[in-house]
Amino acid sequence: MTEQKQALFTIFGATGDLAKRKLYPSLFRLFKKGELADNFAVIGTARRPWTDEYYRGVVLDSIKDLMRSKTEAEAFAAHFYYQSHDVGDSSHYVNLKELGEKLRHTYKTAGNQVFFLAMAPQFFGTIAEHLKSEHILTGEGFERIVIEKPFGTSYDTAKALNDSLSKVFTEEQIFRIDHYLGKEMIQAVSAVRFANPIFESVWNNEHIDNVQITFAEFIGVEDRGGYYETSGALKDMIQNHVLQVLSLIAMERPAKFDESHIVEEKVKALKAMRQYTAEEALENFVRGQYSAGYFDGETYRGYRQEDSVASDSQTETFAAGKFVIDNERWAGVPFYVRSGKRMTEKGTRINIVFKKDPDNLFAGNCDDEQSPNILTIYIQPTEGFSLSVNGKAAGQGFHLEPFRLNFRHDSEFLGNSPEAYEKLFLDVLNGDGTNFSHWEEAARAWELIDVIRQAWDNQTSEIPTYPARTMGPANAFELLAKDGREWAWQPDLWYRERGYYEK
Ligand SMILES: NC(=O)C1=CN([C@@H]2O[C@H](COP(=O)(O)OP(=O)(O)OC[C@H]3O[C@@H](n4cnc5c(N)ncnc54)[C@H](OP(=O)(O)O)[C@@H]3O)[C@@H](O)[C@H]2O)C=CC1
Ligand SMILES: O=C1O[C@H](COP(=O)(O)O)[C@@H](O)[C@H](O)[C@H]1O
């Protein structure tokens, strides 16, 4: 039987997009499963002068697709309270404290508190300080703070942010969200690696030729131009999600499968990654920005035509690069990464490309090249694995042909599998920080990224472009071609052959 959790949640930024799209539905899923029942309450806070009643209406609206009955949804929403509050105004914390004390007793939350900061990072420090100075932190039960990305905009700003949080919370109390770590198939990477001797024994530079990590998005920048102009693909995706995934693939086997051992190994892997000079950063990293494109009867506008984007913007909507790891396991194995918006299609996947057999037995019998074995981990939108192997082409004669051993999770599994934020909320309640970003990881990731960012910022040439609905600019293909390699996943070729790009 599920044991219900006891906690008072305070959500800062309760009127915002993240709260409505992700947080309330995730809490509701936990409610439906009995993880949250009688002993929880939520204080939503932001500047808008909402009433409890209006707020509950917003919460109900955000869960309308998930509700089984009106009674159940209303029972859930009844746990929500709204307090209008400007986080910069000290006097408002007095009201928050009073309301919190009342709810703690009413709902018997055992003094446990979770503060979710669904707000821009510039507010994090001041909120943390006020939680302490206004005695909202009582030390009665567990007290945990959950913060959203971006965690800083450079090493220096991230360090300043971390320093201000650390004055109030210990590292064990800080949960830095990287929502990719809550995804089913990212969590499955460790299972694939460490529960299968056939993979574990070849997970090294003797057998792996290169690793490719693709985070392709179909969507453009949508209504987030204002934020994206200050970020770009490198900081928005590579610094956090991509490097997190890379460290899971590259880390050594942890002594135990628990938070401290896993984080220790991830940090070691990140620290073993080569720190590029500015010159090396330019050699190994490329960027691009989507221009207008045409695909299957539809025209897509370019990034510079998007709302809140400067008409001469140099912001990259695509970044690709090669990381190298200077340790025994990975010496000589490039880790190619790419992430972009308005690419051919949505697809997050990891390709582990194995070395070909140097001694091709079939060389004299048939002219066919052996294809490399490729293990693909599909993160989204489909979730599963495939392994491509060489076989004999059916029919007369002897020819090699690559076949794919495929496994995809079925729709029942996907339908029942918890959403990333739901898992992460539960982890916070359980005090398990395994699937969160820790300071040492974020710090090292910024060190690796800062040099690339600065090298690009110092360039005077115009940013290269790529047409919307393609797999990025030409330089992303040249990056691999100059190493004698190519991207294992090129969906645009499939569409091109079938005329999807022809007007
Ligand atoms: N939306 C998403 O999908 C994702 C968001 N994030 C991150 O989550 C955070 C929130 O994003 P999102 O919800 O999209 O942002 P929104 O702009 O939609 O929401 C911001 C929230 O902050 C509140 N707010 C702003 N200023 C103040 C203030 N001075 N005092 C009190 N409340 C204030 C706003 O409410 P009001 O105006 O009523 O005060 C609003 O509730 C950001 O850090 C973002 O980077 C990360 C990943 C995905
Ligand atoms: O963190 C972010 O992630 C989303 C992509 O997340 P996904 O779960 O939909 O794959 C990205 O669109 C956004 O720009 C970025 O801030």
Angle among Cα 243, 442, 354 to the nearest 5 degrees reads 20
Amino acid occupying residue 197: P
Residues lining ligand 2, CB < 6 A?
Answer: 217, 236
Atom of ligand 2 nearest to the CA of 380: 10
* Number of neighbouring beta carbons within 10 Å of residue 131: 22
Token representation of residue 204 = 């090294």
Q: CA-CA distance, 342 to 293, in Å (whole number)?
A: 9
Tokens of 286: 């490329």
Q: Which atom of ligand 1 is nearest to the CA of 85?
A: 31
What is this model's ipTM? 0.97
Q: Nearest C-alpha to atom 2 of ligand 1 is from which residue?
A: 18
pTM of the predicted model as reported, rounded to 2 decimal places = 0.95
Q: Which atom of ligand 1 is nearest to the CA of 20?
A: 13
Nearest to 263 by CA among 395, 133, 439, 426: 439
- Going by alpha carbons, the residue nearest to atom 23 of ligand 1 is 13
3 state SS for 347-416: EEEEEEEECCCCCCCCCCCCCCCCCCCEEEEEEECCCEEEEEEEEECCCCCCCEEEEEEEEECCHHHHHH
Go through 67-78 and write b for each residue having 16 or more CB atoms within 10 A of its CB, e for each that does not.
Answer: beeeeebeebbe
Choose which residue among 10, 11, 12, 17 to substitute to test ligand 1 binding: the one with the highest number of ligand atoms within 8 A of its C-beta: 17
Other CB atoms within 10 A of residue 439 CB: 20
Nearest ligand, measured from the Cα of 127: 1
CB 341 within 8 Å of CB 221: yes
Residues 6+ apart with CB under 8 A from 196: none
Alpha-carbon span 207 to 105, nearest angstrom: 60
56 CA distance to ligand 1 centroid (A)? 18
Catalytic residue at 130? Answer: no
pLDDT tens-digit profile, the chain (503 residues): 678 999 999 999 999 999 999 999 999 999 999 999 999 999 999 999 999 999 999 999 999 999 999 999 999 999 999 999 999 999 899 999 999 999 999 999 999 999 999 998 889 999 999 999 999 999 999 999 999 988 999 999 999 999 999 999 999 999 999 999 999 999 999 999 999 999 999 999 999 999 999 999 999 998 899 999 999 999 999 999 999 999 999 999 999 999 999 999 999 999 999 999 999 999 999 999 999 999 999 999 999 999 999 999 999 999 999 999 999 999 999 999 999 999 999 999 999 999 998 888 887 777 778 899 999 999 999 999 999 999 999 998 888 899 999 999 987 777 777 889 999 999 999 999 999 999 999 999 999 999 999 999 999 999 999 999 999 999 999 999 999 999 999 999 999 999 999 98
Residue 190: strand, helix, or coil:
helix
Our answer on whether the CB atom of 17 is closer than 6 Å to any ligand 1 atom is: yes
Q: For residues 431 and 143, give the distance between their C-alpha atoms in angstroms, rounded to a whole number.
A: 10
Q: Is 408 in contact with 382 (CB distance < 8 Å)? A: yes
Give, rounded to a whole angstrom, the gap between the first and last alpha carbons of the chain. 59
